[in-house]
Structure 1
């Protein structure tokens, strides 16, 4: 459970910092060991109250 939360945080951090169009959510999730995208998306939304793609497009990601 701890490792999943840690990996979710790392994915979130990377999505926030990603320049638009340089990486996909799928690439980032695979890099952090998530193989079932449906389960990942549900866990991510539960933790951050938004979809991973919304994180990439958010204003804070544009910094």
Structure 2
């Protein structure tokens, strides 16, 4: 391994536990967010994705 031959300690930044923990932290922090698409549906407006796809349900 090149890192070890250079005397560098291997990092575990992509360890499964760390990735799962990071995903849960994002979920906790954003749990009250509402997407623009959901806001549009609730207001009976055309969604942004409709415009991006060239279709509007107006």
* Fold similarity call, TM over 0.5: no
Larger RCO, structures 1/2 (Cα 8 Å, 6+ apart): 1
Larger Rg computed on CA atoms: 2
Query: What range describes the TM-score normalised by the shorter chain of this pair?
Result: under 0.3
Q: TM-score, normalised by structure 2?
A: 0.25
Structure whose residues are more often helix by fraction? 1
